[in-house]
């Protein structure tokens, strides 16, 4: 088993609705599983209003999205630094739409956000495939199913 990377994690429950369902210990475990290097991270859970404002102000998109990652790591810095914002309203809605638990979807979003913080992206098909495969591998190590399995299944003939 690979050694754990050093993690300094701050968790902020600006929206407290999921504080019991997503305790700090779970967020830390999911974050740690996705770390490829030492990190100093903040995970902030927000409502749709704050999530929409952040997405609008920093990405120019006027809607709340499930996860936003704000990386601060400079080139050559051995420590990953970032803020990861989870929008509870979107998280709840997507979990219900996908018929999965809030915990399962949150684990996926945390892993996704942590990978973004470490430079992974999904802007083109090759990058997306690499990032999705890594997410699936990390989530499997945590006991969760592949969140992209339906996209990978061949169409019936």
124 vs 62, higher pLDDT: 62
pTM exceeds cut of 0.75: yes
Q: What is the average per-residue pLDDT within 79-94?
A: 97
Local confidence band at 3 (pLDDT 50, 70, 90 cut-offs): low
Domain boundaries of the chain, sorted by first residue: 7-152
Q: Is the pLDDT of residue 156 over 80?
A: no
124 vs 12, higher pLDDT: 12
Task: Report the DSSP pairing between strands 67-71 and 80-87.
Answer: antiparallel
Q: Does domain 7-152 have CATH number 3.40.390.30?
A: yes
pLDDT at 124: 87
Name the 3-class secondary structure at 78. Answer: coil
Q: What is the average per-residue pLDDT within 8-18?
A: 97
Q: Which residues pair with 80 in a beta bridge?
A: 39
Contact partners, residue 125, CB within 8 Å, separation at least 6: none
Distance CA 11, CA 118 (A): 18
């Amino acid at each position: 088993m690979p050694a754990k990377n050093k993690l300094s994690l701050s968790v902020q429950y600006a929206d407290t609705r999921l504080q019991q369902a997503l305790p700090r210990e779970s967020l830390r475990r999911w974050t740690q599983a996705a770390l490829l290097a030492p990190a100093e991270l903040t995970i902030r859970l927000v409502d749709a209003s704050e999530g929409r404002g952040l997405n609008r102000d920093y990405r120019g998109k006027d809607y709340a999205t499930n996860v936003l990652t704000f990386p601060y790591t400079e080139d050559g810095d051995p420590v990953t630094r970032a803020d990861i914002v989870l929008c509870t309203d979107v998280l709840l809605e997507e979990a219900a739409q996908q018929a999965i638990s809030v915990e399962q979807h949150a684990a996926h979003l945390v892993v996704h956000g942590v990978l973004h913080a470490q430079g992974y992206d999904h802007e083109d098909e090759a990058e997306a495939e690499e990032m999705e495969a890594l997410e699936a591998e990390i989530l499997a190590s945590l006991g969760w199913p592949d969140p992209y399995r339906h996209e990978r299944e061949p169409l019936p003939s």
